[in-house]
Amino acid sequence: MAFEFTDTNFKETALDSKGLKVVDFWAEWCGPCRLVGPVIDELSQEYDGQALIGKVNVDHNPEISTKYGVRSIPTILFIKDGEVVDKHVGVATKASLKDKIATHM
């Protein structure tokens, strides 16, 4: 299961630690998010120990969503060493996400 980023743990887990974080902004009512969700879960297992891959429920964590200007979901941020290095808005294939992860590892 993918890591759950929250308003409370985001700074510590995504910004203050080294390495690559892949953060999927989603909501339960979002159809495209339900397509991306299982891919994020698979990637979190595949890259366990190499990158922290997880999700932010925008309905439960409005602070992070507002801070990063997330207006459309799914939005996937790639954060490396505390800085956003890439962003994808909309449905993404597993292959395209793996390519982006490889680019930023």
- Catalytic residue IDs: 30, 33
Of 33, 5, 23, nearest in space to 85 by CA: 23
What are residue 2's phi and psi, to 5 degrees? -70, 155
Q: Residue 98 is which amino acid?
A: K
CA distance linking residue 27 with residue 37, whole number of Å: 10
Residue 76 · residue 24 · CB < 8 Å:
yes
Tokens in use for 89?
């808005």
